[in-house]
Amino acid sequence: MSFWSQALGITKRYVIYLPPSYRHDAARRYPVAYYLHGGAGDETNWTSRAGLHHIVDSLIAGGMPELIIVMPDGDDSYYTTWNFLGDYPGCLKQPPPRRTDETVEQYCVPWPHYDDYIARDLVAHIDSTYRTIPDRRARGIAGLSMGGYGAVSLAINYPGVFSAAASHSGVLTPLLIAYDSATGKARYASAPDEVRSLYGAWDVMRWAFGRDTSGWWARDPGRRAVFQATRTPPVEMAAFYIDVGTEDRFLNQARAFRDVLVRLRLRPAYVERSGAHDWAYWRANVPHSLSFLARMLSQR
């Protein structure tokens, strides 16, 4: 499936899961969960690599409330408005390596507002095309790694759109170098070279976050959560589910973000389980985020 995104200025694709009763109960409307892929991924990852559609079928057969699931193509965007526009004309002339089924016009983005693309354009398209419940209380978002960052950030920055968010192995404290959860002491990157040393995907991330730490701090989920939670009048924040593998390189990032939410009295559902930053972990744990979101979105 595809649609035109005003925020990106191009046509983008998505995969959609419709629950078992959708085709038989024409009067029924459903909550919606958006599932975001990770870096170097695409909209097919959750189904092709995790079998998400089969997992959802099984959970629903076991009593989980039905919901629609939307899996969009997010490129390597970190689901944010980029700190730089990028080189759109240059991309058209000499595009970088990409999927064989994706045209240059589908890959090169003239206006990289990936947050508005998901939270505004895609949500509006889904609500106008399918029998959704068009209410924040029935709308959630989840993702893995880069998508975990995107899900949490979008829920924080668009509280009127999403009421629940889940992250598997998310990049949740992007500038963190070291963290002691017992004392709360943290050390953060303070120079571009330090930031570059944290991520092998620096050449991609610098477009989204920027070449210096100011753009990174502006997009830090913990700082954004503090800003939103302390506004006057207060913002109704999303319910959060976070899990991470005990062998995951982003373990301390998850702990640091959890502690920010705890200090804000947001009481996230937080779990550390055995596993690394890989599909074996995400396949094993996606049932937990699905069950969490289905439960939260059915409590309207």
Element holding 5 (H helix, E strand) = strand 2-5
Q: Cα(177)–Cα(239) distance, rounded to whole angstroms? A: 27
pLDDT at 34: 99
Whether the predicted pLDDT of 99 surpasses 80: no
Q: In sequence order, what are the beta bridge partners of 14?
A: 72
What three-state secondary structure class fits 58? Answer: helix
Say how many C-beta atoms besides its own lie within 10 A of residue 262's C-beta.
12
Whole-model pTM: value is: 0.97
300 — pLDDT class (breaks 50, 70, 90): low
| DSSP code, position 121 | I
Pairing state between β 32-36 and 2-5:
unpaired
How many structural domains comprise the chain? Answer: 1
46's CB contacts (< 8 A; 6+ apart) are: 15, 35, 37, 52, 71, 286
Q: Which domain holds residue 192?
A: 2-297
| DSSP code, position 253 | H
The owner of tokens 């937080």 is 270
pLDDT tens readout for residues 83-97: 988 888 998 998 877
121 — pLDDT class (breaks 50, 70, 90): very high
286 closest CA partner among 249, 237, 250, 241: 241
Q: Is 178 exposed, middle or buried (0-12, 13-18, 19+ CB in 10 A)?
A: exposed
pLDDT tens readout for residues 131-161: 999 999 999 999 999 999 999 999 999 999 9
pLDDT at 101: 83
Say how many C-beta atoms besides its own lie within 10 A of residue 228's C-beta.
18
pLDDT tens readout for residues 179-212: 999 999 999 999 989 999 999 888 889 999 998 8
pLDDT tens readout for residues 264-278: 999 999 999 999 999
Q: Residue 128 belongs to a domain with what CATH number?
A: 3.40.50.1820
